Structure 1
Amino acid sequence: MRIRIIDTDGSLMAQPGVMAMCAATGGDVVAARDLAPRLRLLAARDALAALAARLGPPEAGEITFIGSGDFHHLSLLLATRHARALSIVHFDNHPDWVRFPASLNCGSWVARALEEPQVRRVVTIGPASPDIEAPQLKGATMEALRSGRLELHAWTGLETFYAGPAFENAGASAAAGIARDGLKWRGLAGDDWRARIDAIAARLPDAPVWITLDKDVLGTGEAVTNWDQGRLTLDAVLEAIGTIAAHRPLLGMDVCGDYSPEGSLGMFRSLLARLDRSQRPVPQGDGASVNEATNLRILAAMGALLQ
């Protein structure tokens, strides 16, 4: 396993255990703080191209840490620079599936991924945020849900208004109960976790899998993030990744969800931030130590899975 750190915001540089493990395993640090103002929340094309050039050629079996969840859309660059068919399994408290604006941002990168022909399927696991309510009214990529190229497995069962023709998601029909007047997500909470994940893994297309983990899918005891947080445990996430790896080869993984102050975002990014997320206060205590403990557990588990 090769460890790579994209230093967007200094959050990982403040984790000595992670930095030591990166160095000990021959990993590298990609300097990107100069690009961060043009990458945070929304990726400017020139900044994204500059980052791609700094990354160099891709290698299978890499795990890349990218800092705050404000940079989660960099996952698309990391996954698709591998010029081959793949599926993406996405652990997140948010669906990141918005089609508009037609840019690469932290709320739209899943929709952008589904525009890439090499991406066979995206499976999102764990959202507990209000973003999944009335998805058709919030710009979600409904066509991909209907076709099964996008599966979403919410944390809690939720009946949500759906205005339009009968909704059917062939790829995730076992994960959603359909009513004439609405869509009901079948929640993960209280369900048989192993059976659900095993079924998800068994349905994956015959292609390698890219894993992307936003730590805001975890509770506050295991992550301190810039976003509202979900209900999954790290044990559950790591168990799920192990199950997926037993069905399909893992191409690589990225991890975000470390905390960093957002600083000055400019007018457009500030507006995007206010529209796209519940604002949270600066966390109390040492968020870096909480995140470092979780990152080290991720590295210990993934060492046996990413070869």
Structure 2
Amino acid sequence: MKDSRILVIMNFSGVYEAEGFYKNHGYVWVDCKDIKGTNCYCDEEGENAIREAIRELGPEGIHFLDSGNYHYVSKIWLEKIAEEFELLVLDHHTDMQPPMFGDILSCGSWIKDALNSNPAIRHVWLAGPPTDAADGIKAGEYGERVTCVPEELIGDGDGWRKRLGDSGLPLYISVDKDVLGPDHARTNWDQGRAGLWEVLACLDAAASCRPIIGVDVCGENPEGTETKEDGAGDGPVNDRTNRELVHHLFSLPFYGKL
């Protein structure tokens, strides 16, 4: 059994160097700052370099991916899962847009790319996008493989237990903090209005009815790491939320058998 309580910090922009949420835990620091061609879009060379950087790591545990510009790294973690599973994504955006530059992997297309390339993904639960974006998915080619859940229902634990309770397949969870309001996260993308308690309620409900393989988290703001005189600032807000997420996630039962 691999270590289901492993904490992996993937440092692309340097933003985690100004945060401390991980320092009281055993953690693996994956330095990706020198990997070229990774910001928002990831070319084939960059994708292969990221695979090599995490080659010795399994999908279990918690993986911090930096800002939402690097959310596509979730797709690479998903490749490590050796059995059928379902994907639960909390995100203010669908991340299912066609890329602007050919077939290159991007932070805005990674879910679509993962569905196209990874047959082990049996279903995607996508919570948080605006209604118009969710309606577009429902009417499109992925409508039967993706279920969208509106932002206002993220914290409905009973609703999640009803949705997720029909299948015994394990879950991999991906959280983009842009689903949260600015009291709980400061990102470099437009944000939703969910409270942290709502995200935690969703995680609790998911873990109560499905095995959890692993979790990743993104949504830092590399341009907002400075702390103001009153202790405010983007960095401290994100650091506090990251600390709470780690504490809460490690209290949940992880699968950890892969």
What TM bracket, shorter-length normalisation? 0.7 to 0.9
Structure 2 CA distance for aligned equivalents of residues 39 and 217 of structure 1? 22
For normalisation by structure 1, the TM-score amounts to 0.73
Structure 2 counterpart of 1:243 = 205
Structure 1 CA distance for aligned equivalents of residues 227 and 123 of structure 2? 35
* Mapping of residues 90-239 of structure 1, within 5 Å: 90-100=89-99, 101-115=102-116, 116-128=118-130, 132=133, 135=136, 142-145=140-143, 147=144, 149-155=145-151, 188=153, 193-203=156-166, 205-239=167-201
Aligned length: 243
Matched residue type, 1:248 = R
Q: Describe the SS at the equivalent of 1:20.
A: coil
Q: Describe the SS at the equivalent of 2:92.
A: coil
Structure 1 counterpart of 2:87 = 88
Residue 229 of structure 1: CA displacement? 0.5
Q: Which protein shows a greater Rg?
A: 1
Residue 194 of structure 1: CA displacement? 2.4
Structure 2 CA distance for aligned equivalents of residues 225 and 141 of structure 1? 29
CA distance 1:235–1:134, shift in 2 (3 Å):
closer
Given that residues 91 and 126 in structure 1 are in contact (C-alpha distance below 8 angstroms), is that contact kept between their aligned partners in structure 2? yes
Structure 2 counterpart of 1:288 = 235
**Identity over aligned pairs, percent:** 26
Given that residues 111 and 141 in structure 1 are in contact (C-alpha distance below 8 angstroms), is that contact kept between their aligned partners in structure 2? no
Q: Describe the SS at the equivalent of 1:255.
A: strand
Superposition RMSD on alpha carbons, in Å? Answer: 2.5
Residue 83 of structure 1: CA displacement? 2.5
Structure 2 CA distance for aligned equivalents of residues 129 and 296 of structure 1? 30
CA distance 1:198–1:19, shift in 2 (3 Å):
closer
In terms of mean alpha carbon deviation, does 94-103 or 117-126 score higher? Answer: 94-103
Structure 2 counterpart of 1:44 = 43
Residue 60 of structure 1: CA displacement? 4.9
Deviations, residues 219-277 of structure 1 (Å, cap 9, x unaligned): 00100100000011111111111111111111101000000149xxxxxxxxxxxxxxx
Where structure 2 has 5 or more consecutive residues not aligned to the other structure, the ranges are: none
Structure 2 CA distance for aligned equivalents of residues 220 and 283 of structure 1? 16
CA distance 1:102–1:142, shift in 2 (3 Å):
farther
Given that residues 39 and 47 in structure 1 are in contact (C-alpha distance below 8 angstroms), is that contact kept between their aligned partners in structure 2? yes
Structure 2 CA distance for aligned equivalents of residues 283 and 127 of structure 1? 30
Given that residues 76 and 109 in structure 1 are in contact (C-alpha distance below 8 angstroms), is that contact kept between their aligned partners in structure 2? yes
Given that residues 65 and 217 in structure 2 are in contact (C-alpha distance below 8 angstroms), is that contact kept between their aligned partners in structure 1? yes
